[in-house]
Structure 1
Amino acid sequence: MPISKIRIVIAASAVVSSAIAGVSIAQAQEELAQFNITNITDYHGYISATKAHPGAAMLKCAVDNAADGLPQAFVSSGDNIGGSPFASSILDDEPTLDVLNQMGLDFSAVGNHEFDKGYADLTGRVADLANFEYLGANVEGGNPGLAPYGITELDGVKVAFVGTVSQETPMLVNSEGIEGITFSDPVAMTNRVADQLVESGEADVVVALFHEGISGTEQWSENIDAIFAGHTHQVRNLGTDQGPLIMQAGNYGHALADVDFSYNRSTDELIVNDARILGVEEINACGTPDSAISKIVAQAEIDAGEAGKEVVATIEDDFLRALDEGAESGSNYGAESQLVNMIANAVRWSMTTNTATTADIGLMNAGGLRADLFAGEVTYAEAFEIQPFAGEDSFVTLKGADFKDVLEQQWKENSARPVAALGVSDNVSYTYDINRPIGDRITSVSIDGAPLDPARDYVVAASVYLLSGNEGMEALTRGTAPAQTGIVDVQSTIGYLANNYVVPRYGQAQISVTPSSEFNAGETITLDLAGLRYTQSDTATEVTVSLGDVIVSAPIEPTLGAAGFGEAGTATVNVEIPADLSGAQELVITTDAGTHISMPVSVVGAQQPQPQPQPAGSSILGTGLLSGILGIFAGIFGAIGVVNWIDPTFIQHIQQRFFA
């Protein structure tokens, strides 16, 4: 069995003296192998160069420069295709596969988006077009199966690459396309394959191409030397930290992981000479764009361009996605945005307009949007970039109680993306309590201004992808099967924009309110409010809370909150509950930007007014006087025959009112 590897991060100039002390330089040169590994992840077909994206031709230049004369392996951690810009997506991502072939990609893990068009498409059309091998060690049940690993020799060193994909893949792609396919724990499978490769002597070095985010809690085998992660679109360089080298190269070709290794053949020691991640500026500064790739990209843009030039709508406002602090638009899948809410409106409108049903609710998943929409003329290409998956829109009939569960399922346990935010149509709003347990956070839901009826049937419009229970939305599958409409999602959006005067939903659809249980009359409660602002294009500065006749306002802190969550914009409001308020009440929350959400609350313990004792003789009228007055009335009414007109309860009321 080979010796366990020692992992050290040191400067390249110190490698020889540290690794081969006590031997001659000639011997050291014979014993020491050197090689380079470059990695990308979540490329998503961003082959064209723009202000924000280096493009494939420049990325190829950076990959070549990274080798610096060393033997090199160029690898990917998955999601090379799918969710792509118009120029690649409209051509079924074939230009991207052509580009990666030209770049000399050696191996790639399968990402969840490799399954967008189904397993058969991946192992058939995609595999036939790719000159590199897709790896999926934790993907089981397919025929043909995916290779779990691939091995290449670099300067005489057998380097194995083990590919795995997120175990959440069945929630992220259309389930019909992966029927019979299972996805096991990627960490456990990577460890198992690495141990087998090292124990059998097949590999000297094992590198994981891990299409999943890194949480820091993973337990890795000592036989894994380096891990290139993906899926969450983050840039991370965690170094070795007494374990394997861990890096993640962002997304869209914005970053390139570049690692130089030395391997001592006699001691089986692997040394990390240099591990860095090149950013956009460094990639763009590499030199001359690769001419062969430039030609591939230019032809793809020509082929896709004619269809994309058509203007399909004109709008007056921007519709933007959510973001995390300091990150790009679309980086936060856990917050609502004006764009995701608008698309939810679009699918509701489309199903109502183009089918025989009337949709009560529209939904859209934030992770399905891949570009922002800006004011002015909207071309087909721009609309397509927002929704590049060409999925089908549909509808189901669902009980109100199940729809509430759908909203509960936005929050995930132990997920790299802790919230999968849903955009909702403008007629839907709800409150939640972020401090309550997952599965019990929704505190109220309103549809068309009325409380959600748990027993009522609602028609819910969304993509078939979402209605099939993907992204953990299992509750959407409890109703009827999705109708076969044949309407592509981008067609719904284009039709909605072209046939309606569309403005953003300026106010929020959802707010977190803590506490959310019953309140006590006469007490002062401190309400913690969150989610009062969008992460972009929001002007809200003040929130107002009303309960009964009490109205209180407070400033909004325009914080974005934790990355990946939706609690942007917070406020603390102290509300003095009147002592005489009781029973079912409405807590109404508004902002100066247009939010208006009502949450039913219960107020208990109201103080009832007590009768005040009167001193003797202090009554307005004495008892004797009352008797006299009543006697007079009796005589009068008796004389006219209507003495029975005086009801005994009337007499009791007079006695209690004036003489108690």
Structure 2
Amino acid sequence: MKHGSKLAAVATGLVLAGSATMTATTTASAATNMNGGPLPAGTTPINILNLNDFHGRIDTDGRGTLGKNFACTILTQREALGAANTLTLGAGDLIGASPFTSSIQNDEPTLDFLDAIGMNASSVGNHEFDQGYEDLTQRVEPRADFEYVGANVFFKGTQTPALKQYETYDVAGVRVAVVGGVTSETPNLVEGAGVANLDFIDPVEGVNRVAIQLTDGNAANGEADVIIAEYHEGGPYSSTTGTLADQLKVPVFAHLVNDTSSKVAAILQGHTHQAYVYDVQIPGEATGSTRPVLQTGQYAAAVGKIQLGWDATAKKVTAYNAANIPATAPSAACLANPTYQAAAKIIDDAIQYAAPIANQKVGEVTADITRGRTTSGGEDRGRESAMSNIIAQQYVESVNAPGRDLGADIGMMNPGGVRADLLYDTDGTVTFAEAATVLSFGNALKVADYTGAQVKQILEEQWQPAGASRPFLAMGLSKNVTYTYDATRAQGDRITGVFIDGKAIDPAETYTITSSSFLITNVGTKPDNFGTFLQGTNYRDAGLVDQNAFVDWLKANSPVSPTTQQHGIAVLGAPTAVSYGKTTSFRVEGLDLASANAPRSSSVEVSIDGRRIGSFPVTQGRLTEPVPTRDGAADVAFKLTGKILPDDSPRTAYIKVVAQPSGSVAWIPVRVKG
């Protein structure tokens, strides 16, 4: 049952008038942070319980621990706050990229679970469009009792909204509007054909246009006393990895908090899977007039809680509290609560349905194989990982298997497509559910041909366009591919060398790349902003689904060990020539993976064309500027004595740098001069 009385629904086809800069009639929502203290006497409390990036995590351990913990935490908080004064909301990606328990039933158990715990409304996220607009509107929305809203999604070439833009609720006599906005990058994050008939404008523009409409004094087009913005977009740092000042250096975050209308009382965010709570100055208001900006992290680890104090005399929000509440194990009161029992039964039924397939053993690992990690332990898509690299290698082996042999030279894997780790646990067993959750989208495996110059350009595109909430997306690569880069150089000119089996690629030569159909595509928009994938030739389908191919590969290759080699290494001051008797010096950075338990290198061994030069120590520590972050650095300096090549030889020699014990390799082509 939903909490908060819903007012008249918003007409989906309504065209909003005016621009985001129009002046409206009501006052702004400038407020004071009470820092956890009571709201001022006489104000009406309006409470928000929030989640983002749930991704169907009703179950990950066969017992439903995540979902049950979250359900109890939501219900406990709602009871403490008062159900009549509380809305339960979301910031998108509630479904999609889900574990096996939910995905095997197309996320219907997750939608039922969210209904059971009393969801009112959520912004759409990019993953709500994973199976296309028609699936969202004809299957997902009818299944959900709560409202999906998105104020910045329009039918292509029109000003006609493709979704409900907002929903309004009566909370203790106060009209509260929930306005949604999804990242404008959505067409680059899902299969292009599914959203080909849609335009995704700037989410801030979409929210601001609705805010103007709801405060223009015209009851005919809807009015609201309090406006809540639910953005499926956010900042790249958590509260443990970055300050508000750090977040504000990122254009997309600064735009969300500085340019959202002052009529919006609270900003809830998602998409980047980070956890933070900030007080942000409201544009145009007196210094010290702030509003809360909150994101809960991911996978129901916490419940976002905002309390707003509505002053009926001043007709605005004058005070607030904001916090993230960690999800905790069910209490005795929860276990006896009929609402909790109904939600828990949905989880248990889904587990039982999935169990016959989910629990089948398909392979083994010798140790944890994980995605990239931040220093605080969260997922980091800006770092190369053992998990992504293993999948890229698996792609090559699967499409080149006898009887298929598509001639793939390079495997690539985008980090956003890798949705889970493979953990050793007690005996290294990998179940079907665990393997399927790693690649939960069920994309086809494909191959296409690219020139060496295009291969380099794809790696250049790891640095995302200016303003992206994730400034770098680290591509997983098959084990035969390495590259060097200098991130201090200009955009589009940062890759300094690409090598296959230690040999520099030829810009004019043709190389065959394999990956999922999300990347290897020649239709739609740029997948994850890797636009060069659209420019290949000889596109062909391998006749394999990535999830099934991965399971089969695990069966054939177990036990599987995590890779330790970093494929991309920064080389600063790379020499182009080495002269006898003169000092050659350069610096290498980012020698080690950011995966959990990845070995930390202690030295690098340097040689030229097989002749050992020497060993140099590695300094450990994470370098953060410029992106990508890098672990492990070494300064190399040597004088060459004794002949390596004849003086002025036209042949290129290769400096080889090998990190120990990670085994990461960097190649530097040079001319040797007499």
TM range (shorter): 0.7 to 0.9
Q: What CA distance in whole angstroms lies between the structure 2 residues aligned with 1:298 and 1:14?
A: 39
Q: Which residue number corresponds to residue 362 of structure 1?
A: 411
Residue 70 of structure 2 corresponds to residue 59 of structure 1: yes
Q: Which residue number corresponds to residue 637 of structure 1?
A: none
Q: Which residue number corresponds to residue 154 of structure 2?
A: 140
> 1:71: Cα distance to partner?
1.2
Residue 266 of structure 2 corresponds to residue 206 of structure 1: no
Q: What CA distance in whole angstroms lies between the structure 1 residues aligned with 2:455 and 2:664?
A: 21
Q: Is the 8 A contact 2:72 2:331 kept in 1?
A: no
Please report the TM-score for the alignment, with normalisation by the length of structure 2.
Answer: 0.82
**Highest relative contact order (Cα 8 Å, sep 6+), 1 or 2?**
2
> 1:198: Cα distance to partner?
1.7
Residue 428 of structure 2 corresponds to residue 341 of structure 1: no
Alignment of 1:441-452 (within 5 A): 441-452=494-505
Relative to structure 1, is the Cα distance of residues 51 and 239 closer, same or farther in structure 2, using a 3 angstrom cutoff? farther
Q: Which residue number corresponds to residue 438 of structure 1?
A: 491
Q: Is the 8 A contact 2:485 2:495 kept in 1?
A: yes
- What do the CA deviations read for 1:446-504 (whole angstroms, capped 9, x no partner)? 12332211112211110000113411111111112642344111112122222236444
Q: What CA distance in whole angstroms lies between the structure 1 residues aligned with 2:108 and 2:205?
A: 33
278, 293, 301: which one aligns with 2:351? 301
SS of equivalent to 1:101:
helix
AA matched with 2:295: Q
Relative to structure 1, is the Cα distance of residues 454 and 103 closer, same or farther in structure 2, using a 3 angstrom cutoff? same
AA matched with 2:420: A
Q: Is the 8 A contact 2:34 2:321 kept in 1?
A: yes
Q: What CA distance in whole angstroms lies between the structure 2 residues aligned with 1:516 and 1:191?
A: 49
- What do the CA deviations read for 1:532-566 (whole angstroms, capped 9, x no partner)? 11123333221122346561322223324339735
Q: What CA distance in whole angstroms lies between the structure 1 residues aligned with 2:267 and 2:190?
A: 25
Relative to structure 1, is the Cα distance of residues 166 and 525 closer, same or farther in structure 2, using a 3 angstrom cutoff? farther
Q: Which residue number corresponds to residue 228 of structure 1?
A: 268
559, 565, 568: which one aligns with 1:507? 565
153, 157, 176: which one aligns with 2:193? 176
Residue 583 of structure 2 corresponds to residue 524 of structure 1: yes
Relative to structure 1, is the Cα distance of residues 232 and 53 closer, same or farther in structure 2, using a 3 angstrom cutoff? farther
Q: What CA distance in whole angstroms lies between the structure 2 residues aligned with 1:56 and 1:503?
A: 31
Alignment of 1:531-550 (within 5 A): 531-535=590-594, 536-539=596-599, 540-547=601-608
Q: What CA distance in whole angstroms lies between the structure 2 residues aligned with 1:239 and 1:287?
A: 34
Q: Is the 8 A contact 1:54 1:254 kept in 2?
A: no
Q: How many residues align?
A: 590
Q: Which residue number corresponds to residue 622 of structure 1?
A: none
Q: What CA distance in whole angstroms lies between the structure 1 residues aligned with 2:189 and 2:575?
A: 35
Residue 476 of structure 2 corresponds to residue 389 of structure 1: no
Alignment of 1:197-596 (within 5 A): 197-200=214-217, 202-214=223-235, 215-216=247-248, 217-218=254-255, 219-241=259-281, 242-281=289-328, 287-289=333-335, 290-328=340-378, 331-353=379-401, 355-375=404-424, 376-412=428-464, 413-468=466-521, 469-480=526-537, 482-500=539-557, 502-516=560-574, 518-519=576-577, 521=579, 523-535=582-594, 536-539=596-599, 540-547=601-608, 551-562=613-624, 565-576=628-639, 584-593=652-661, 595=663
Relative to structure 1, is the Cα distance of residues 433 and 156 closer, same or farther in structure 2, using a 3 angstrom cutoff? same
AA matched with 1:538: A
- What do the CA deviations read for 1:125-165 (whole angstroms, capped 9, x no partner)? 10110111111111111798201111111111111111011
Provide the alpha-carbon RMSD of the alignment: 2.5
- What do the CA deviations read for 1:12-36 (whole angstroms, capped 9, x no partner)? 765435xxxxxxxxxx4xxx32221
Please report the TM-score for the alignment, with normalisation by the length of structure 1.
Answer: 0.84
Residue 45 of structure 2 corresponds to residue 34 of structure 1: yes
Q: What CA distance in whole angstroms lies between the structure 2 residues aligned with 1:6 and 1:504?
A: 51
| Larger deviation, residues 189-198 vs 462-471 | 189-198
Q: Is the 8 A contact 1:552 1:573 kept in 2?
A: no
Relative to structure 1, is the Cα distance of residues 286 and 146 closer, same or farther in structure 2, using a 3 angstrom cutoff? farther
Residue 34 of structure 2 corresponds to residue 10 of structure 1: yes
AA matched with 1:513: V
SS of equivalent to 2:605:
strand
Q: Which residue number corresponds to residue 665 of structure 2?
A: 597
Q: What CA distance in whole angstroms lies between the structure 2 residues aligned with 1:254 and 1:320?
A: 19
- What do the CA deviations read for 1:410-437 (whole angstroms, capped 9, x no partner)? 1113211111111111111111112222
> 1:588: Cα distance to partner?
0.7
Relative to structure 1, is the Cα distance of residues 481 and 303 closer, same or farther in structure 2, using a 3 angstrom cutoff? farther
> 1:444: Cα distance to partner?
1.2
Relative to structure 1, is the Cα distance of residues 139 and 52 closer, same or farther in structure 2, using a 3 angstrom cutoff? farther
Relative to structure 1, is the Cα distance of residues 75 and 321 closer, same or farther in structure 2, using a 3 angstrom cutoff? same
Q: What CA distance in whole angstroms lies between the structure 1 residues aligned with 2:63 and 2:318?
A: 34
Q: Which has the higher helix share?
A: 1
> 1:52: Cα distance to partner?
12
SS of equivalent to 1:355:
coil
* Runs of 4+ with >6 A deviation: none
| Larger deviation, residues 590-599 vs 243-252 | 590-599
| Larger deviation, residues 394-403 vs 312-321 | 312-321
Q: Is the 8 A contact 2:45 2:85 kept in 1?
A: yes
| Larger deviation, residues 271-280 vs 470-479 | 271-280
> 1:578: Cα distance to partner?
5.7
Q: Is the 8 A contact 1:82 1:93 kept in 2?
A: yes
- Structure 2: 5+ residue runs without aligned partners? 1-24, 236-246, 249-253, 282-288
| Larger deviation, residues 206-215 vs 478-487 | 478-487
- Structure 1: 5+ residue runs without aligned partners? 18-27, 609-660
> 1:95: Cα distance to partner?
0.3
> 1:75: Cα distance to partner?
0.4
